[in-house]
Chain A
Amino acid sequence: MNFRDQFILLRELTATHHKLRDQSSLFGFTWSFLHPLILLAVFYLFFRYMAGSHVEHYSVYLLIGIVFYTHFSNATMAALHSLRSYRDLTADAVFPKELIVLSWILSSGIDFLVSTGICLLIAVTTGVTIKLAWFWLPILMIVQMIFTSWVGLLLSCLYVFAWDMDHLYEIALRLLFFMTPIFYIRSQLGTGIPNTIIRLNPLARIIDMARQAVLNGGGLPLGSLTAALILNLLALSFAYQIFKRLEPRFAENV
């Protein structure tokens, strides 16, 4: 299958996910944005006075965290299930199977784009001034997409072989939620082990930079951003090689 055919298939698969989802619920996209909004409401209600006193525009602070976390969680969970949910194609059709995984990543990426747009809209309406630094957001979103792609590629092939991977990953996502400063502030944790964990958490770093761009303005630490981009690209190439090495064993195990 040549590159052009692969691109067309990727587009068709991505469009299919959207068509199916929009059919299955009356609200279509609204439905997928409802979950982050409910989270936002709950956390805003309960943590406004605890964490909110330390941050200006706590609701936007919260929303950025929720949007980035929700995207990561939805995209990687969909990627994990992708080869199994398209078992027929995985087992019986001849084309590069990463297209199945990437179509889910792309499909979640579209939601991510819209969510971020809504997030900025809310920011403006709650009094955050529009800044030049917002132009950093697309780059951060690309880093996040590369991040979800490599995690998704690895998870999708692990789930072909290990049947309990989805349960394990659900637990991991729950842990990640609390190990990422979504509703609290990192400085509240002191300098112990929790703080170190968060420093090593790639999602926390991306969210941190996104908040810096949206709320504080000013330039982003170029060094960290470049490092994040390079490390994620390296991880992606590593994950892709593992995926391709395991691909010939998908059909008999899926």
Chain B
Amino acid sequence: MFNGNGNGLERVRLSGLSKNFAAGREKTTAFRLLHDIVKATDPAPLHARRVVAIEAFSMYTGEVLGLIGENGAGKTTLLKLIAGLYAPSAGSIQREGKVVYFAGLGIGMIQDLTVRENVYLYGAIYGISRSRLESDFEDMLEWAELTDFADAPLRHLSTGMKTRLAFAIATRVEADVLLLDEAFSAGDQRFQNKCDAFVWGRRGGSSAVLVATHNLAFVRRYCTRAIWLHHGLMREEGEPDRVVDSYLDYSKT
């Protein structure tokens, strides 16, 4: 559906996008829900808080985009909008291909299942083919240093072990659009290097990658483009060093 921009194929296109959340959202009862449906009222717009508003933005294959900004700037909301988990309040999002979103490592894993069962469940959640999971099973466990734990319940593993396992599986994901929400920025230095290498390997590849992060050094080193989100607006966008510098200048004030 999309044209290239010289770098790669356009995978995501946002236009006139905005997302509002109802402020002070209350628990709704069935009666109230029915009342709102019958009266055709939507309580949200009355006390809406705008979280994200982006006029135009696109993602292309081969790109690794760094999304930076303060806490509450709307980074996660933007990722969830692109992922299709949130519906936009206005505007449109067009996506092409398979979109995978990692809110964190290990989401969807179940403590009472064994490592082996979790590999297949977690892999299935993120659309990794069964044959890939089977053929790579030994490699994944070896990499995560869990060879002796294949049939142990997940709850017997340390946090670090679980993160390594989740990462080993996650790196098998084949996505056209890959959205990472601080996901790969946990763990010790050795783990961090692996994560960085994974992202580095995606540069110039067939997927478009967007990483929301507070790790500015990561953005400078590995990203091909950076976006600074400020109070839901795109404050600056472009060459990573320049965007990170502006953000740092702002942060000092």
User: How does the 8 Å CB contact mask read for B91-111 relative to A, with 1 for contact and 0 for none?
Assistant: 000000011110110011010
Which A residues from 1 to 39 make CB contacts under 8 A with B?
1, 5, 8-9, 11-13, 16, 19-20, 23-24
Least CB distance, B15 to chain A, in whole angstroms: 18
Interchain CB contact under 8 A, B113 and A92? no
Interchain CB contact under 8 A, B86 and A252? yes
Interface flag for B137 (CB, 8 Å): no
Residue of A nearest to B111 (CB): A20
Residues in B neighbouring A91, C-beta threshold 8 A: 85, 103
User: How does the 8 Å CB contact mask read for B101-138 relative to A, with 1 for contact and 0 for none?
Assistant: 10110011010110001001100111101100000000
Assign chain A's interface to a size class: 20 to 34
Interchain CB contact under 8 A, B107 and A92? yes
* Alpha-carbon distance A1/B83, docked complex (angstroms): 13
Q: Given A88-B107, A92-B107, A94-B99, is A248 in contact with B33 using a C-beta cutoff of 8 Å?
A: no
Least CB distance, A99 to chain B, in whole angstroms: 10
Interchain CB contact under 8 A, B83 and A94? yes
How many chain-B residues does the 8 Å CB contact rule pick out? 33
Of the candidates B29, B86, B126, the one whose C-beta lies within 8 Å of that of A162 is B29
* Alpha-carbon distance A161/B25, docked complex (angstroms): 11
Interchain CB contact under 8 A, A249 and B30? no
**Residues in chain A within 8 A of chain B (CB atoms):** 1, 5, 8-9, 11-13, 16, 19-20, 23-24, 88-89, 91-95, 158, 161-165, 168, 248-252
15 sampled A-B residue pairs with Cβ under 8 A = A5-B124, A12-B125, A13-B124, A16-B117, A20-B110, A24-B112, A88-B107, A92-B101, A92-B103, A92-B104, A93-B126, A94-B100, A162-B30, A163-B28, A251-B85
**Residues in chain B within 8 A of chain A (CB atoms):** 21, 27-30, 32-33, 80, 83-87, 98-101, 103-104, 107-108, 110, 112-113, 117, 120-121, 124-127, 129-130
A-B pairs with lowest CB-CB distance, top 4? A248-B87, A92-B103, A162-B30, A251-B85
